[in-house]
Structure 1
Amino acid sequence: MLRSRALAAPLLLAACLTFSSSPATTANPAPAAAVAPSALLGLPSRAPDQDPRPNVVVVMADDLRVDDLQWMPRTRRLFERTGISFENSFAPYPLCCPARATFLTGQHAHNHGVYWHEPPYGYGAFDDSRTVATSLRAAGYRTGFLGKYLNRYGLDRSKVSGQPSHRYVPRGWDEWRGAVENPGDAGFHGGTYVYTDIAFNHGGRIDNRYRGRYSTEVIGSLSAQMAGRFADRRARSGRPFFLYVNHIAPHHGAPRDDDDPASWRDKDGFEHVFPTPYVPPRHRGRFDDVIDRAPGIARTGSPTEGDVSDKPRAVRRLPAMTGRDLAAMREAARQRAESAWVMDKEVSRLVRRLRKDDEWDRTVLVFTSDNGLLQGEHRFRTGKVWSYEPSLRVPLLVTGPGMRGRGDGGHRRYDPVDTPDLTATILDLADAEPPRKADGSSFLASLVDGDAGWDVPVLTEATHTAGGRSAAFGKRSSIGLRTARWSMTLYRDGFGELYDLVEDPLQHHNLWRSKKHRQVRTDLEEVWRRLRDCSGAGCQEPAPPAYRADASTVAAWTRGYWQEIDRVYGYR
């Protein structure tokens, strides 16, 4: 992918956001003061000194698969009509805690040091003294945070302050309302994953007034209120704002219902677990007549992969699905869909508030998820971390000035985007400096000029996927590459996976030992060695020419991928 680096000046930023017919250039730019901001951005000018930069609102779901968008009709319609969907969007470390640290820093996990959600590599390992928030605030933005932060925020001590984190407020946030996990001895009830009793650290004080209220609706209400306050302040000061809203949905959480699928242990000692989100009774049953199986179980009602002998050791150890498993997974899928549907209503509420306050036409809205989720594929009852497509892929929807009312049907992009790229793009929008050496690259060029093709591999990494020891892996147990056609992953114990995603979108046939594909393996291993510990611009090194693809080829391959996924797994 030909990715643009951060734009040099607000004038160039404005030219990009108006989707001008000619690409922005740095040659002899006109002074910013000579051109009205409204002319550059298409934003209503309310004062001579109005800041032309857009507001940025990011809404992040938790564990939302790309195909879960089918349960979010309002959000889907909004972006189909007024925005752009990135069809190749990836979480390079598909696990909540590392993924969120990556968004906040713009760095891969091997650079920011958060590898897991438990000590010693969870929240307690996160240095959040420099994040996207500190950069945007330094650039003149008002900043607000709402909802889930990193796993174990509230339980572990802050790496920055050294103090208990349930009252710690990270730097850079003008308004902070972070959901906290309950340490049990801090004198409050509720917590992040209690859907009926969420607790917040609100500017250093605990706010747990929400017992009996559904947390998705609480976050939705609070996000609209926060947006309203920020809009009022922008009207008075002209200062743009950044609002980062984090839903817990559809991640599993308490309380349990009587009809939640129970875990069980088989004769070989394997524990079959089926986590679900809590959904209020008034929202239950909405999709029971549609969801007849988990999304990773075929239309036939059976798993698609009978033989996993070519998979890593941990996957080979997974037992075959039983009828009891399939019934439990169906119930979990229904509850996740119901949970996503409620979140969909709250996204719509936030948009209505932005429109009511006359800020919608100057706001870039992003909807995404921290990671995907396996739900039946490769024998996983539920799972993430692994470099399989349902785990890596996340929805990424963007709308903003210049993207609305186009009516040309061009609401899809096929260039690859990963989480560090999203961070780089937000900083680009704000003309802000990155908080650390940036591993990603802005995709504003794709928004403005359309797709450029896929040149740069997506680096993937994980822990807890293999045993063994290897200095080449550092603290990771697997490291992979994703190109336009190939998915390759190397494991610390010496195992390897190679998939041709054009011929095998379901990743059923591991080609690692295929003599026919020996050259592909050799070439990608060389790229792997160059990128595995990359930093900054080194993470944007293009693949060899044979492993790049132009825009039309990437689009055709991606459409083919999703067509095959729908043919095998789609609901009626």
Structure 2
Amino acid sequence: MTIKPNIFVFMTDQQRGDTLTDPRIIMPNIRSLMREGVHFENTYCPSPHCCPSRASFFTGLYPSQHGVWNNVCVQNTLSKGLNPGTELFPSLLDAKGYDMYYAGKWHVCSQTGPEDYGFKELHVTNNKITKDDPTIALMSPGWEMYQNLAAQLETQETAPKKEGEIRRKGYPEYVHYGLDENPFDDMGVIDSALSQIANIEDGGAPWMMYIGTLGPHDPYIVPQRFLDMYKDIEIALTDIHFDTLKDKPTLYRRTQRLFNQLSIKEKKEAIRHYMAFCTYEDYLFGLVLDQLKTREDYNDTLILFTSDHGDYNGEHGLWCKGLPAFKGGYHIPAVMSWKNGIKNPGRTVAEFVSLADFSPTFTELLGEDVAENVVGQSLLPFINDTKPSEWRDYMFTQTNGNEVYGIQRTVFNHSWKLVHNTFDEDELYDLANDPDELTNLFGSESDLTQQAKKELFKQMWSFASKTEDQSLNPYIMVGLAEFGPAYAYSTQEG
């Protein structure tokens, strides 16, 4: 018999996966959900940007398949939206009779919005371009802003530097952390969702609600009372925070130089603010969770808490998200609870999980077949506490940077990680002995590293073939991988 649970998704923006297990970070509501459900501790996003990863969440596809490579509303984007014919799982729920509600950040496609997939739009931000959405203009300022900024250049260079400020000549002011009683108006999003939940009739049609908050995205601006929770926390910087990146791509070091404007004290304060922001997001999640628990259909409601991508948070001297392929930018939280559906709650799943896995999970949950081109895998076996007959041994990521520079592909398992950079030298990390990815072994000529590179390139190209990734080009000035695409079909051992 097909089960039709209600589906509730809460997706934060730029939250690291290790925030769920860091005992210093106060998150009682999410940890309560972990005890009631399943924690997927090795969940990764396919891309280090909002739009490509969110598109993968809704489609079960990777960027090379759904066509979203960059944040669709920024000036330098080339991919404005989803490829024609791309299917999103909410459309299936709508066709199955679900009542659909959407609150918060969309940021998937500039040509379509939540309403085009069956949702009733509540308080939606980063919507499609035909909507009168001020958040789009904020993310994509035109030349007029820079013309106005020109009159401030002299003042910009001579004014005292603010705490947490990172200066870029000729660019608008950026302060990395601070205070705000309603950061990014996330409370407005929550209020709209709470009002709608109160009006959903018990015993009526099954429903889905998606909430997308903007925290804990940079700048880390938080309410004072949440920052006060961390006033006595000691923030320690370790070797991973002092990585010089000397054996890594030049672009990484160029980005790091920008953040080196922050003093040690400021870096610690930025981490403290990020922790407080995660606690604030947990508080918002708790407001909704408490209201859901008052409903008669709570036990029949599948709840998913996750995020679109991570944050480097000072590791390797980097912050925010983007091109560097280090773990912090890709590792995300994922917790699923369902009182009447999850067997043996309180479990932790160690297998690799992709953000692309949730779309086929919801599809299969409704008794529908998953399309052949979907590379995400259904998580139903883990919900039922059974071992899937086949599961992935490798994880893959795809990014074209911001489409001006930075085509990058990665493949990794629990032992090794390969980063293929078309713009600079490649990277190879021995994760078993170097989990912090401090030493790039790509230039090593040892038999062990050569064997690892060959196998990882083979896996990378195999996945590229499977996902119709057009990153291959045989021209002598472009095809620079040490082992080329033909290795996808090689039967050689080792």
| TM-score grouping bracket, smaller chain normalisation | 0.7 to 0.9
Corresponding position: 1:525 with 2:457: yes
- The residue identity in structure 2 corresponding to 1:438 is V
For 1:459, the equivalent position in structure 2 comes to 396
2:248 to 287, 297, 311: 311
Corresponding position: 1:336 with 2:274: yes
For 2:425, the equivalent position in structure 1 comes to 495
Query: How far does residue 305 in structure 1 lie from its aligned partner after superposition?
Result: 4.2
Cα 1:250–1:436 change in 2 (3 A) is farther
Query: How far does residue 277 in structure 1 lie from its aligned partner after superposition?
Result: 3.3
Matches for 1:353-368 after TM superposition, within 5 Å: 353-368=291-306
- The residue identity in structure 1 corresponding to 2:459 is V
1:535 to 452, 467, 478: 467
For 1:389, the equivalent position in structure 2 comes to 327
2:54 to 91, 95, 100: 100
Alpha carbons 1:62, 1:250 under 8 Å: kept: yes
For 1:483, the equivalent position in structure 2 comes to 413
For 1:159, the equivalent position in structure 2 comes to 111
- The residue identity in structure 2 corresponding to 1:235 is G
Mapped to 1, the partners of 2:489 and 2:333 lie a distance apart of 24
CA distances 1:316-357 after superposition (whole Å, capped 9, x unpaired): 333397584332222222222222222212212222222211
Mapped to 2, the partners of 1:416 and 1:542 lie a distance apart of 24
For 2:121, the equivalent position in structure 1 comes to 176
Stretches of structure 2 lacking an aligned partner (at least 5 in a row): 140-179, 469-487
TM-score (norm 1): 0.66
Mapped to 2, the partners of 1:85 and 1:512 lie a distance apart of 33
- The residue identity in structure 2 corresponding to 1:228 is A
For 2:187, the equivalent position in structure 1 comes to 217
Secondary structure of residue in 2 paired with 1:87? strand
- The residue identity in structure 2 corresponding to 1:59 is F
Query: How far does residue 494 in structure 1 lie from its aligned partner after superposition?
Result: 5.5
For 2:315, the equivalent position in structure 1 comes to 377
Stretches of structure 1 lacking an aligned partner (at least 5 in a row): 1-10, 14-51, 161-167, 195-210, 253-275, 469-475, 548-572
Mapped to 2, the partners of 1:212 and 1:291 lie a distance apart of 24
2:229 to 286, 299, 302: 286
Matches for 1:106-505 after TM superposition, within 5 Å: 106-117=60-71, 118-119=74-75, 121=77, 124-126=80-82, 130-150=87-107, 158-159=110-111, 170-181=115-126, 215-230=185-200, 232=201, 235-236=203-204, 239-252=205-218, 276-290=219-233, 292=235, 297-298=237-238, 304-317=241-254, 318-319=256-257, 324-402=262-340, 406=344, 410-432=346-368, 437-451=373-387, 455-464=392-401, 477-493=407-423, 495-505=425-435
Query: How far does residue 501 in structure 1 lie from its aligned partner after superposition?
Result: 1.3
The count of residues paired between Structure 1 and Structure 2 equals 424
Cα 1:405–1:434 change in 2 (3 A) is closer
CA distances 1:111-156 after superposition (whole Å, capped 9, x unpaired): 11111112564773235873221121112222211100107x7xxx
Mapped to 2, the partners of 1:183 and 1:361 lie a distance apart of 34
Mapped to 1, the partners of 2:285 and 2:434 lie a distance apart of 35
Query: How far does residue 431 in structure 1 lie from its aligned partner after superposition?
Result: 2.8
Cα 1:134–1:323 change in 2 (3 A) is closer
Secondary structure of residue in 1 paired with 2:94? helix
Query: How far does residue 479 in structure 1 lie from its aligned partner after superposition?
Result: 0.8
For 2:475, the equivalent position in structure 1 comes to none
Mapped to 1, the partners of 2:83 and 2:26 lie a distance apart of 34
Mapped to 1, the partners of 2:95 and 2:128 lie a distance apart of 33
Alpha carbons 1:108, 1:439 under 8 Å: kept: yes
Mapped to 1, the partners of 2:492 and 2:333 lie a distance apart of 28
Mapped to 2, the partners of 1:525 and 1:183 lie a distance apart of 38
- The residue identity in structure 2 corresponding to 1:509 is T
Alpha carbons 1:144, 1:174 under 8 Å: kept: yes
Query: How far does residue 226 in structure 1 lie from its aligned partner after superposition?
Result: 2.3
Mapped to 2, the partners of 1:227 and 1:436 lie a distance apart of 35
- The residue identity in structure 1 corresponding to 2:443 is R
Cα 1:140–1:341 change in 2 (3 A) is same
TM-score (norm 2): 0.75
Alpha carbons 2:14, 2:307 under 8 Å: kept: yes
Alpha carbons 1:83, 1:403 under 8 Å: kept: no
- State percent identity of aligned pairs: 21
Mapped to 1, the partners of 2:335 and 2:35 lie a distance apart of 12
Cα 1:525–1:436 change in 2 (3 A) is closer
Mapped to 1, the partners of 2:404 and 2:137 lie a distance apart of 32
Mapped to 1, the partners of 2:444 and 2:330 lie a distance apart of 24
Alpha carbons 1:93, 1:385 under 8 Å: kept: no
Alpha carbons 2:40, 2:348 under 8 Å: kept: yes
For 1:273, the equivalent position in structure 2 comes to none
For 1:509, the equivalent position in structure 2 comes to 439
